[in-house]
Amino acid sequence: MGAVLGSTGLSPGAFAQAPGTKPVILVVGDSLSAEYGLKRGEGWVPLLEKRLADQKIAATVVNASISGDTTSGGRARLASLLKQHKPTHVVLELGGNDALRGLPIQNTEDNLTQMTKAAQAAGARVLIVGMQVPPNYGGDYLQRFEAIFQKVATATKAAVVPFLLHGVADGPDAANLFQPDRIHPVAAAQPRMLDNVWPELKKLLGR
């Protein structure tokens, strides 16, 4: 990661998108973005492609999400993704599996921080997508984990979505919006997930 994270002397966002450049949005996530348990085209990332087309925003979406991925896994493969796709925007949707595996919160924070800095150093604007864990993890862990995403975003001047599953996991119809595993949202929940991401992403796209 060292080569990607090399000091540029520029602040995050200093790599302004050249006029006329077609945006490339790289989504690096886990099963919540990889259409786990869904038919192809039903997930929030494919729905994002449709929304961009509907709004006449000429952008390419690259979904590099892998079910089961952690922030460590994402960090390990990010450099090659940045080199291959040269994204103008990077959406980081990772962290949920770190919590499910009981990994140290500091490790998750460090990984997200380094991924954000690497993407920014490569010229991309970054959107960090937050996650929450169930109450049975304990109040202290819940609060510390939830705070990671805003903390990293503030430190790196990245954009942030507080909770990808807002209105899904914490809504009145939550029981009907998840697959039998109670972890992965059904197709009917995907538009709401996109609606949670869209406002911040649209800002980054300069529209």
**Which tokens sit at 104?**
């140290």
Q: Could you confirm whether 184 is annotated as catalytic?
A: yes
* Residue type for position 8: T
CA neighbours closer than 13 Å in the CB half-sphere of residue 197: 31
Query: Among this protein's residues, is 33 annotated catalytic?
Result: no
- Asked about 181 being catalytic, the answer comes back as yes
Residue 49: partners with Cβ closer than 8 Å, 6 or more residues away: 61
The tokens of 64 are what? 């590099």
Of the listed 30, 31, 69, 98, which one is catalytic?
Answer: 31
Other Cβ atoms within 10 Å of 178 Cβ, number: 17
Contact predicate 13/120, CB 8 Å: yes
Catalytic residue among 67, 85, 166, 184: 184
Give 3-state DSSP helix, strand, coil % of the chain, rounded to 5.
45, 10, 45
Nearest to 55 by CA among 169, 191, 205, 180: 205
Catalytic sites, residue numbers: 31, 181, 184
